């Protein structure tokens, strides 16, 4: 079964809107795990508009499944990750003012940089995933720089799914095939939801983990958090 990691950024965004501690981010992380989530993902950004840097040590002490910290590997980000040693670090090529992630790494152009960052994280025993577009060359490049996994950026798939699922899925199925051949683990994330998740999972062999936040938290407004997590898990069964 593909594992579900719940991204709780939007919970932190709601908390920060009023400056207090409602909703309680740590309690939500605990509850997500209790409701069946197999991991918790956070993506701290430089402006700390949702996850704050001081959330990370608290989450590190709280999360008992898999703790995944994703983000742009700036010096401050890497210092935060190395100090808190999550189970997984997902490297994402965001700019400092980016609203949301919208592309993967050029693992060939940035090979030297990625190799250095990955080596430093490996010293701490952290599994490293590299955010990547479904391009065989980028997948092979991630393997060459020492990444343990790639996380396929699924924004284009989600955008095109309603028009033609088969065409939307084709590059991701091929990326999965390449990942399997070269022996690199496969994650996926961005705009996956209750409509498109099952199809993606069924046509992406070897998919180990999906990270879902925005859609899942939005669905929880209608269905409740516990029920929503079970609904997503059923799509992955």
Residue (of 138, 88, 86, 85) closest to 114 by Cα position: 138
How much of the chain is in helix, strand and coil states, percent to nearest 5?
A: 50, 15, 35
Catalytic residue among 33, 43, 50, 66: 43
Catalytic residue among 33, 50, 66, 70: 70
> Rounded to whole angstroms, how far apart are CA atoms 83 and 41?
17
Would you tell me how many other CB atoms lie within 10 Å of the CB of residue 55?
20
70 is annotated as an active-site residue:
yes
Q: CB–CB of 200/169 below 8 Å?
A: yes
> Rounded to whole angstroms, how far apart are CA atoms 112 and 39?
30
Q: CB–CB of 144/107 below 8 Å?
A: yes
Would you tell me how many other CB atoms lie within 10 Å of the CB of residue 144?
15
Q: Is 154 exposed, middle or buried (0-12, 13-18, 19+ CB in 10 A)?
A: buried
Catalytic residue among 33, 66, 190, 209: 190
50 is annotated as an active-site residue:
no
163 is annotated as an active-site residue:
no
Residue (of 56, 62, 64, 63) closest to 84 by Cα position: 56
Give strand pairing partners of 186. 150, 207
Q: Is 49 exposed, middle or buried (0-12, 13-18, 19+ CB in 10 A)?
A: middle
| Enzyme catalytic residues | 43, 70, 190
């Amino acid at each position: 079964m593909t594992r579900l990691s719940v991204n709780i950024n939007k919970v932190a965004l709601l908390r920060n809107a009023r400056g207090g501690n409602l909703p309680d981010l740590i309690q939500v992380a605990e509850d997500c795990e209790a409701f069946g989530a197999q991991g918790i993902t956070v993506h701290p950004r430089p402006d700390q508009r949702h996850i704050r840097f001081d959330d990370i040590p608290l989450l590190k002490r709280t999360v008992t499944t898999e703790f995944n910290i994703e983000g742009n590997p700036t010096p401050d980000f890497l210092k935060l990750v190395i100090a808190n040693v999550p189970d997984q670090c997902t490297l994402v090529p965001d700019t400092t003012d980016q609203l949301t992630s919208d592309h993967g790494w050029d693992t060939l152009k940035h090979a030297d940089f990625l190799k250095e960052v990955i080596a430093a994280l490996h010293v701490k025993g952290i599994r490293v995933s590299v955010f990547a577009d479904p391009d065989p060359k980028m997948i092979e490049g991630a393997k060459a720089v020492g990444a343990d996994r790639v996380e396929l950026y699924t924004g284009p798939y989600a955008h095109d799914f309603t028009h033609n699922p088969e065409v939307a899925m084709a590059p991701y199925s091929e990326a999965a095939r390449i990942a399997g051949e070269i022996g690199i683990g496969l994650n996926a994330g961005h705009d996956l939801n209750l409509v498109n998740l099952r199809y993606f999972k069924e046509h992406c062999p070897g998919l180990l983990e999906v990270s879902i936040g925005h859609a899942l938290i939005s669905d929880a407004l209608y269905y409740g958090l516990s029920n929503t997590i079970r609904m997503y898990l059923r799509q992955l069964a």
